[in-house]
Chains A and B, each alone.
Chain A
Amino acid sequence: MNCIVIDDEATARMIISQLCSHVPSLNVLEEFPNAMQAIKYLNQKEVDLIFLDIHMPDFTGFDFIETLKNPPKIILTTSDPNFAIQAFEYDCIVDYLVKPITLERFQKAIDKAESKQNKPATTASNAEKVESTSGNDLYVNIDRRLIKIDIPSIYLVEAKGDYIQVKTEDKNYTVHSTLKKIEDKLPDSLFLKVHRSYIINIQKIIDIEDNSVLIKKDVIPVSRSNRPELMKRLNLL
């Protein structure tokens, strides 16, 4: 399989290429320190497999995947196991390697990629999504553990860069995910995105004033474009 390696860390690129050298069926064509250079390369050439770091500045591994019309097989490489659930939403991702990668674990990932070699890949848009919700529960991956959160207890979700903060009655959780991903998992009947950085549980609203809502002790801005939908959802007297 012809492959490329995308990682902003030279040490990581070197290790992955060394691991590839132990597998006769792998041929490393190029290494790239960022996703943009790889995109330019892939506009010219086809590859069978990409080793892709998720956590890169400016353009994450998931952003990169979204740019590919016909993605090849992808093996994610990361120092962060918290991305595992998100990874399973992409059919093109065949495995997920947590650094530092051992040869044994690497070989398993290659075996998976080879077993999928003849199957067409798809992106998240047409792939079957793995649900991480079950009834009233939402499972989030934190420090290699899947933590169960009772969905109705969530009163606020706030975007914070590459992370979201999920606030519940009892506890707050910082999760490596996006607002869009969690929005898809939360029931529309309870939750509403009121701002590009906030999703609220409308049952937990205390009061609304002009362009903000008070929810618990948090004052949350409401975008002008989201205000009509919020007002529509309220049982106004």
Chain B
Amino acid sequence: MEQPNQTYINSLSGDDKAFKQKLIDVIKKEFPEEKQVYFDNYHAKNYKLAADNVHKLKHKISILGLEKGYEVAVAYENNLLEGSANQKDLFEAILTNITKYLEEI
């Protein structure tokens, strides 16, 4: 499975280690919150709102260099808008993968 990386974060940070750490801290704070809102909306069958949440999570997915994951998120967002949960498992596997990664860095 495609693994998260810090290529984009490093390109943005350059030698600014303080900025890099601050950015990672903000991602670590925001990601679980956004993920939880997504799960809440999905389980409440609020697919339109869940699609909005996926839309927001797409940014984190792309920041962490998950190009294939981003494509899955795009497709899943569109599916949710049409009331379908197709690609749910794939998308949620990406969230799990990111969660583990953020715990390790």
Contact = CB atoms under 8 A, between A and B. Distances in A.
Contacts, number: 58
A161 B22 CA distance: 35
A9 B62 contact: no
B44 to A, nearest CB: 16
A19 B14 CA distance: 11
B63 A100 contact: yes
A15 B60 CA distance: 12
A18 B8 contact: no
Contacts of B8: 100, 102
A199 interface: no
A102 B13 CA distance: 11
Contact of B56 (A9, A103, A143): A9
B81 A160 contact: yes
B55 A15 contact: no
Contacts of A19: 12
A57 B53 CA distance: 10
B40 to A, nearest CB: 14
Interface stretch (B23-31, B85-93, B96-104): B23-31
B74 A9 contact: no
A55 B52 contact: yes
Contact of A10 (B19, B30, B63): B30
Query: On chain A, which size bracket covers the interface?
Result: 20 to 34
Contacts of B22: 14
A99 B59 contact: yes
Contact of B78 (A14, A55, A57, A174): A174
A159 interface: no
25 contacts: A8-B56, A10-B26, A10-B29, A11-B30, A11-B63, A12-B59, A14-B22, A18-B16, A18-B19, A18-B23, A19-B12, A55-B56, A57-B52, A79-B56, A79-B59, A99-B59, A99-B63, A100-B8, A102-B11, A143-B74, A160-B48, A160-B81, A161-B48, A174-B78, A174-B81
Interface of B: 8, 11-13, 16, 19, 22-23, 26-27, 29-30, 48, 52, 55-56, 58-60, 62-63, 74, 78, 81-82
Interface of A: 8-12, 14-15, 18-19, 55, 57, 79-80, 99-100, 102-103, 143, 160-161, 163, 174
